[in-house]
Amino acid sequence: MGMDLLRFSTAGSVDDGKSTLIGRLLFDTKTIFEDQLEAVQKATLKRGQQGVDLALLTDGLRAEREQGITIDVAYRYFATPRRKFIIADTPGHIQYTRNMVTGASTAQVAVILVDARNGVVEQTCRHAFISTLLGIKNLVVAVNKMDLVDYDEEAFNRVVADFEDFSSRLESAQIQYIPVSALHGDNVVERSRNMTWYEGPALLYHLETIHVAGDNSVDARFPVQWVIRPQTEGFEDFRGYAGKVTGGVFRPGDDVVVMPSGFTTKITGIHMMGRDLEEAYSPMSVVMTLADDIDVGRGSLICKPQNQPEQSQDLDAMLCWFSPTSQLSRGQKLVLRHTTRDVKVVVQEVLYKVDVNTLHRSEDDPTLALNDVGRVKLRTSEPLYADPYRRNRSTGSLILVDPRTNDTVAAGMLRG
């Protein structure tokens, strides 16, 4: 599989030093280019500061910097000899829960920044909750600005105690606490000499070595994106099914069943970029050929006969509402997009809303507005072939689309 890739999301409150932390990772791993560095040095001088303001590396857009806000999700890439990394940098503001959900949805690790002086705040709790909701099993709490509390062990221990108290109510996650100063580079890439009391790893070493479970290798799932019939000379009889493996392993010769038709057949070949493959696994995009000419189209799901997803028209999901102009309410009709299928759906009921800061559930408000997270019952026009989200992030997630505007109004995780 080549060099392995880790995707992690970062979030923190405004001014927790998130941009500086990411800048420090990029700077100390020598991922930034000379011209970028020069531009940043010039910009720092222009502001009347000395040295290099690492935050300027990250807050790329000038207009944003001038307004002093960072919105949306920015993806950044860097690599070390051990691993490649993709950072989904999500905004800290309360009104951007939906961006946090988007950024964290593919992450394997969540890095949560806490200012050592302010301790655990609303944002910290919100990000931790969203991360565990999205099935992220590994959290890193980076206690930043340790230089401003004189690298005091007590200040660090207070944050750890407060976060432990909150996280005991979350679905289980592995949590690593790391005291850092992004500004001075303590415990970011190199171990700090200022905190000899801390015996754990520096942030980068932890991210390089953390073991992350791969995709679901048990449940074989292949949602078909399209049917390939080249119609070119010599290929008149070719009929292949293109898509992305979202779980398990497929090999030529395997018996498979195609949903929704329920027909069984065998895989005769698996192809990728003109090569024949011995096997295909997540997240490979391949073309499969089958022994029988059966009814397969976009939205079909190929799986193994002994291991089929649940099929149901009644869904129980945790939803995050994205739309600023509409609310989710009972009886609403929407389009549900699941893997490569679109089906009509009606909202049966809103069971409860979660206050993402306190984890309190309120059952008395039957609507979801922008950035609300709640548990909702849905009914689809035809059965869906789906797995619980904690078993499979691809076949367990869905989005809801407003049929009138074609806007994505919600993202959801299926409960199992």
Fold held by 310-414: Elongation Factor Tu (Ef-tu); domain 3 (2.40.30)
Whole-angstrom Cα distance, residue 55 to residue 68? 12
Read off the DSSP letter of residue 241. Answer: E
Q: According to the model, what pLDDT value does residue 152 have?
A: 97
CATH, domain 221-303, list 3.40.630.30, 2.40.30.10, 2.40.160.20, 3.40.630.40: 2.40.30.10
Q: According to the model, what pLDDT value does residue 36 have?
A: 59
Q: According to the model, what pLDDT value does residue 22 have?
A: 84
Q: Is 279 helix (H, G, I), strand (E, B) or coil?
A: coil
Q: According to the model, what pLDDT value does residue 299 have?
A: 95
Render pLDDT for 22-63 as a digit per residue (tens, 0 to 9): 888 887 777 655 555 566 667 666 766 655 666 655 555 444
Whole-angstrom Cα distance, residue 68 to residue 66? 5
Read off the DSSP letter of residue 223. Answer: E
Q: What is the dihedral of CA 296, 297, 298, 299, to 10 degrees?
A: -50
pLDDT-derived band at 170, boundaries 50, 70, 90: confident
Same fold, 5-209 and 221-303: no
Cα 361 to Cα 67, 132, 375, 390, 403, distances in angstroms? 35, 16, 10, 21, 30
Per-position DSSP letters for 160-177, written without gaps between them: HHHHHHHHTTSSP-EEEE
pLDDT surpasses 60 at 267: yes
Q: According to the model, what pLDDT value does residue 125 have?
A: 87
Render pLDDT for 312-366 as a digit per residue (tens, 0 to 9): 999 999 999 989 899 999 999 999 999 999 999 999 999 999 988 788 899 988 8
Strand partners for 163:
none
Whole-angstrom Cα distance, residue 189 to residue 50? 22
The candidate with the shortest Cα–Cα distance to 105, out of 210, 24, 178, 9, is 9
The candidate with the shortest Cα–Cα distance to 90, out of 177, 8, 203, 5, is 8
CATH, domain 5-209, list 3.90.25.10, 3.40.50.300, 3.40.190.10, 3.90.1720.10: 3.40.50.300
The candidate with the shortest Cα–Cα distance to 138, out of 161, 169, 108, is 108
- Domain residue limits, the chain: 5-209, 221-303, 310-414
